[in-house]
Amino acid sequence: MSFLNSTLAGGLNPAEQLYQGTDFSSLNWVEKQWAAWYIWIGNPIIATGLMSFLLHEIVYFGRCIPWIIIDAVPYFRKWKLQPGKVPTPQEQWECTKQVLFSHFTIELPAIWLFHPLAETFGMSTWQVPFPSWKAMAPQIFFFFFFEDLFHFLAHQALHTGILYKHIHKLHHKYSAPFGLAAEYAHPAEVFILGTGTLLGPILYAAFGGDLHIVTVYVWIVLRLFQAIDAHSGYDFPWSLQHIIPFWSGADHHDFHHMAFTNNYSTSFRWWDWACGTDTKYREYKKKVKAAKAALKNATQDEKDAFERNLMAEVEKDGQRAEAEAEARGLLGGKAKVQ
């Protein structure tokens, strides 16, 4: 890395000036590449904005690709939560166009402005070396906790009156979600719910926490994986909710899309459980469990028929609940729909 330690005859660009006096021999390979990126771009704001946006796009669509392949292979239907509803290529393309529209109109400007905002609140961005994993782990858990609570509250607000009818309804276009649909939403919803993802790190830094943007990047990657997997529509025996009981997972969120109500949180189940917003979900799971016991000796066709009828019943109730939500005022005022 002699390039990093050299001084250009024509003077140093702003990024090179930041690293004057840095001992690059003490850095690991990733940290050296991090510094090289900032020096190569020459402007820390542009370097952070470009890296942040590329990270988001590569991780989002990269994580969606395996789910697109899984949806195309019939073998995996046995683990699909709503096996009768597999997204078509046309649906996936329409979804992708809306996602890209939101990415470039809402997320790109927000990501680009994140560097100056972050530094205003004392967050490290270009600095090396990185914090240790021991320092990063509790910070990332706090971000998960904060975002989950924020999402739980904001998501319920989006299920009322004009907020649902004019904003959140777009996301509920698919009663059986799929990976690409994780960020299929109205631009206003992308901004509202995205606030919960970025506000946690900003508040942490603002109140004196020693935070590096690389920790935020790890958090964003994990959050994207969580959101896409929760919308995948598949519940495998090795899915995380079978290892961590309070993890939401696809099983939890798929019911929200199918039934419209219940299960408003993202990562964890505890807020829905504590606030009683998962009662229909738990009743549904009890019915499924009881049916499996009762139909133990039934044919596979009989089991499939029962499951289809139960799902149709839940979805019908969800359509009624959706109509009521559209008629409900932002601050209450229920209106029954016959």
pLDDT for 329 equals 59
**26 CB-near residues (< 8 Å, 6+ apart):** 129
pLDDT for 271 equals 98
pLDDT for 119 equals 85
Enumerate residue ranges in the chain where pLDDT < 70. 1-13, 329-338
CA proximity to 31, closest of 133, 136, 129: 129
pLDDT for 6 equals 44
Scored b (16 or more CB within 10 A) or e, 62-76 reads ebbeebbebbeeeeb
**Can you read off the two tokens belonging to residue 279?**
């009662």
Residue spans of alpha helices (H) in the chain:
2-5, 14-18, 29-41, 44-72, 89-102, 108-112, 114-120, 133-157, 161-166, 187-206, 213-230, 249-259, 270-275, 279-294, 300-327
pLDDT for 337 equals 39
pLDDT for 187 equals 92
Distances (CA, A) of 323 to 77, 167, 168, 279, 338: 31, 15, 13, 20, 9
pLDDT for 272 equals 98
Scored b (16 or more CB within 10 A) or e, 230-243 reads bbbbbbeeebebee
DSSP 8-class letter at 131: P
d(CA 294, CA 278): 24
**271 CB-near residues (< 8 Å, 6+ apart):** 148, 149, 152, 264, 265, 277
pLDDT for 11 equals 59
131-134 long-range contacts, CB within 8 A, separation 24+:
131/210, 131/212, 131/214, 131/215
